[in-house]
């Protein structure tokens, strides 16, 4: 999928190895910038505020909490969301009370894959908000699946607890999904309805989407949560892939 370069993320860590690792992991998903410590980060943020800050808590000089408090005290930077990296003890004893604007507390040590997955959910939500701010009509945003996949769109709508109609078009086919407070309540794609429609549309690699925040579901055909729906869709896709691989092996052996 094309990187969502609209979202600017500042990564702050005084450990050069970890900083490089995080930068490489985030590169495909956003426009990432690096700061070697809190003081460097503060200068960069004042000059060019990012959309999201990923910050280590324990740093020499200006630590993560001090950076957070300085930015919260400035009108221009008080709304920038944070993701903190810290030990479990630091999270529980020092960081947990800071809920305003903190999206995630990532406990160290962590697996990079899990960190990127959690961070990407926030990035996708911020990308959706940016699209919404540039809406062609009040309450309506448009884009391409090459920019945000169906999985990313649905996760973002769930995280933002949005109520809307998501219309997806690809090669003459149109699927409509209706959300209420972030939960996918109804879907229709040709003769497919409910979960069956979702399981079909998540396979589309390309197409166009439109989100209309002026619309809401009129019926409920889906009982799973959006997360549960996507997990089942991914399971079915993985199962189908394995079955296809098995058939290819049998055909080759035959």
Residue 254 lies in a domain: no
Looking at the fold, whether 12 and 125 belong to one and the same domain comes out as: yes
Site of tokens 């109520």 = 163
pLDDT at 252: 43
Write out the two tokens for 3.
Answer: 């990187």
Residue 171 has which token pair? 């090669």
pLDDT value for 23: 95
Same domain membership, residue 177 and residue 100: no
Q: What is the DSSP letter of 74?
A: S
54 within some domain = yes
Residue 229 within a domain: yes
Question: Are both 166 and 115 inside the same structural domain?
Answer: no
Q: Which helix (H) or strand (E) is 83 found in, with range? A: strand 82-87
Same domain assignment for residues 117 and 161? no
Judge whether 50 lies within some domain.
yes
Name the token pair of 40. 């460097």
Q: Which of 113, 129, 145 is the last residue of a domain?
A: 129
- Into how many domains does the chain fold? 2
pLDDT in the model for residue 191: 95
Q: pLDDT at position 99, please?
A: 61
Indicate whether 95 and 14 sit together in one domain.
Answer: yes
Secondary-structure breakdown of the chain: helix, strand, coil percentages, each rounded to the nearest 5: 40, 25, 35
CATH number, residue 104:
3.40.50.2300
Separation of alpha carbons 135 and 153, rounded Å: 16
124 and 145 part of one domain: no
- Answer yes or no: do 31 and 74 share one domain: yes
- Are 150 and 229 found together in one domain? yes
Pairing of strands 8-12, 102-108: unpaired
Residue 246 belongs to some domain of the structure = no
Residues 6+ apart with CB under 8 A from 222: 184, 185, 186, 187, 194, 195, 198, 229
Instruction: Give Cα separations from 5 to 26, 102, 124, 132, 146 (angstroms).
Output: 11, 22, 11, 16, 13
Co-location of 139 and 218 in the same domain:
yes
CA distance 164 to 149: 17
Task: Give me the domain span that covers residue 50.
Answer: 8-129
Q: Is residue 80 part of a domain?
A: yes
Phi (first) and psi of residue 102, to 5 degrees: -95, 115
Query: Does any domain span residue 188?
Result: yes
- Quote the tokens at residue 141: 């945003």
Look at the alpha carbons of 7, 13, 16, 17 in this order and tell me if their dihedral is positive or negative. Answer: negative
Does residue 80 share a domain with residue 107? yes
Residue 50 Ramachandran class (φ > 0 left, ψ -120 to 50 alpha, else beta): beta
92 and 144 assigned to the same domain: no
Whether 50 and 148 map to the same domain: the answer is no
Per-residue pLDDT tens, the chain, 254 aa: give them. Answer: 344 457 999 999 989 999 999 999 999 889 999 999 989 999 899 888 999 999 998 888 888 888 988 998 888 888 999 998 887 777 666 666 656 667 778 888 888 998 998 899 899 888 888 877 777 677 888 888 887 889 889 988 988 888 999 999 998 999 999 999 999 999 999 999 999 999 999 999 899 999 999 998 999 999 999 999 999 998 988 887 776 654 443 444 44
**Closest to 154 in 3D by CA, of 143, 138, 146, 166:** 166
* Residue 46 is assigned to a structural domain of this protein: yes
- Out of 129, 148, 175, pick the residue that ends a domain: 129
């Amino acid at each position: 999928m094309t990187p969502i370069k609209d979202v600017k993320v500042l990564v702050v860590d005084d450990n050069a190895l970890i900083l490089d690792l995080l930068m490489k992991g985030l590169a495909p998903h956003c426009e990432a910038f690096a700061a070697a410590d809190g003081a460097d980060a503060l200068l960069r943020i004042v000059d060019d505020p990012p959309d999201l800050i990923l910050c280590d808590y324990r740093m020499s000089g200006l630590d993560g909490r001090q950076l957070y408090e300085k930015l919260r005290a400035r009108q221009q930077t008080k709304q920038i969301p944070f993701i903190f990296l810290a030990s479990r003890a630091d999270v529980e004893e020092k960081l947990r009370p800071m809920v305003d604007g903190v999206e995630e507390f990532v406990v160290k040590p962590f697996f990079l894959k899990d960190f990127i997955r959690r961070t990407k959910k926030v990035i996708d939500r911020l990308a959706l908000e940016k699209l919404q701010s540039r809406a062609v009509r009040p309450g309506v945003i448009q884009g391409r699946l090459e920019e945000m996949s169906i999985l990313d769109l649905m996760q973002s709508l769930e995280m933002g607890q949005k109520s809307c109609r998501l219309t997806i078009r690809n090669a003459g086919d149109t699927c409509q999904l209706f959300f209420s407070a972030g939960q996918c309540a109804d879907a229709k794609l040709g003769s497919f309805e409910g979960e069956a429609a979702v399981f079909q549309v998540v396979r589309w690699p390309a197409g166009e989407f439109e989100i209309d925040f002026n619309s809401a579901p009129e019926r409920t055909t889906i009982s799973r949560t959006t997360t549960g729906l996507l997990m089942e869709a991914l399971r079915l896709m993985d199962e189908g892939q394995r079955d296809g691989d098995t058939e290819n092996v049998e055909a080759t052996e035959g």
